[in-house]
Amino acid sequence: MAFQADDRLTRLPASADSPPAGLLWDAGRLGAHGRLDWLRPEAYGERAHPVGAEGGRGSAWFVTGDAGDAVLRRYRRGGLFGRLVHDRYVWQGVESTRCVREYRLLRALHAQQLPVPAPLAAGWWRQGVTYRQALLTARIPNAESLAGRLARNMHVAPWDAAGAMIARFHLVGVDHADLNAHNILVDADERLWLIDFDRGSQGAHNAKVGESNLQRLRRSLNKIGGPAGEAGWQRLYAAWQQALARGTAA
């Protein structure tokens, strides 16, 4: 995916007090001069608040800065390996950094008018053969995760709309690598959004990819709601199938 007209990319060489780093950002929203401080929660002071632990690893903040309300996320590894290396990744070049790949994917999906947060900035800090990274995206106003909604009332959820929304992504070949109830947002107007596209991709429509995504979501809903979560998933799955059928027939 090529950079959009408003995207800027800069590489910062190592200095006496900092390692080599780089930044990709939307100059149309953040201005022509990039600042790595956009990706440092401490730079926001009292305008940075940790995102609740649900579905995350304590590595995200709600911030208010140059582009208004945003979400700042530091990339962290999960699982057993993540306990050892935390937030380090092997350096393989700028184009292979997960933050740049996610930024570009979000840029493309946003341009297709899909319900995703607008990407604002992606940055990385190298140290030897490893690097750390972060991503800044626009915040969806007055939104809660589907997981949060279900925790309050498992029987009041937009199952049909969620299935149709997910189908929109699958019809254009999107593979969401971590489709779960924490990464589906519902805003105050009951509109649905999909977030966290780390390791996601877009290619040709692939039914097997969609099925794999939905099975992952199924495990998430069953973990949260047991039999009620399974019942909700069944309804969501039916709506997803119907939307796919309509889309592929169009």
Alpha-helical segments (H) within the chain: 27-30, 79-85, 98-111, 146-152, 159-171, 207-225, 227-249
CB 25 within 8 A of CB 8: yes
Distances from the Cα of 245 to the Cαs of 20, 110, 193, 209, in angstroms?
49, 24, 21, 16
* Contact between 99 and 75 (Cβ < 8 Å): yes
Beta pairing, strands 89-90 & 130-138: antiparallel
Give CA–CA dist 91/125, Å, rounded: 10
CA distance 248 to 180: 24
Tell me 25's DSSP state.
E
In the set 7, 26, 175, 178, the catalytic residue is 178
**Cα–Cα distance between 40 and 37 in angstroms, integer?**
5
Name 77's Cβ contacts closer than 8 Å, sequence gap at least 6.
85, 86, 87, 88, 89
**Is 17 considered catalytic here?**
no
Residue 54 identity (one-letter amino acid): E
Q: Which residues are catalytic?
A: 178
